[in-house]
Amino acid sequence: MLIGCGRWEYQTKTLQSLLEHVRYPWSDVICVNDLDRNGGSWSIGQAWQRVRDTDADYVFHLEDDWVFPEPVNVEDLVDICEANRDLANVVLRRQPHGAEGIGGYIGDDPDSFRERRCWDLKYLEHRKGFWLNPCVYPADIPHRYEWERGMTEGDFTELLLRDEPRWRFAVFGKHLDAPRAIHIGDRSARGTW
């Protein structure tokens, strides 16, 4: 699933990087490009409506301003979700930015991220939030929940945990791993995301 907002210079780089570095036997491809500037939450809601029309088991969520510095095997993320049904999503680690400081969201609060293993795959389990960095989540989530207009990742996290406190979240890799996804956009076409 690719979500965009008419920033073609970013989307072109994202698609090139996706085709070069991301491997998976895609069954359905959903693209939502918000040319009318309705906002990121609107776009996610529209994409989730389309997910409901597929028979996909998992969603690879990608927004139009990410690149991948190295190969990504989406099957690894799916395997982690399959083996851990309490995980709402598995995100690719991103580079630190803004208020996160030098260590980023993991380095600034390492005790909130517990190293786990699924076969030979390592990930960091946490309860900090349902983030939409490039990630994989069960298609059951868009089937069961609505991403409402104006909703943030924090709002959606609260909804998930209120509905089912069992939910956990994961970052693929270990504490000191390099980023697996690089955010190249500084803002959406509307100025906010």
What was the pLDDT predicted at 37? 67
Q: Is 13 inside any structural domain?
A: yes
112-118: Cβ within 8 A, 24+ apart: 113/171, 113/175, 115/174, 115/175, 116/84, 116/170, 118/79, 118/80, 118/83, 118/84
What was the pLDDT predicted at 104? 73
Domain count, the chain: 1
Domain CATH for 154: 3.90.550.10
What was the pLDDT predicted at 192? 42
154-164 pLDDT, tens per residue?
Answer: 999 999 999 99
Q: Is 188 inside any structural domain?
A: no
Distances (CA, A) of 192 to 5, 39, 79, 87, 139: 11, 8, 33, 28, 27
Q: Is 93 inside any structural domain?
A: yes
The whole domain housing 131 covers 2-183
The string of DSSP letters for 87-99 reads EEEEEEPB---GG
Q: Is 190 inside any structural domain?
A: no
Average pLDDT of every residue of the chain: 90
Q: Is 159 inside any structural domain?
A: yes
Q: Is 189 inside any structural domain?
A: no
pTM score of the predicted model:
0.91
> Pick the residue with more confidence: 94 or 84?
84
DSSP symbol at 181: B
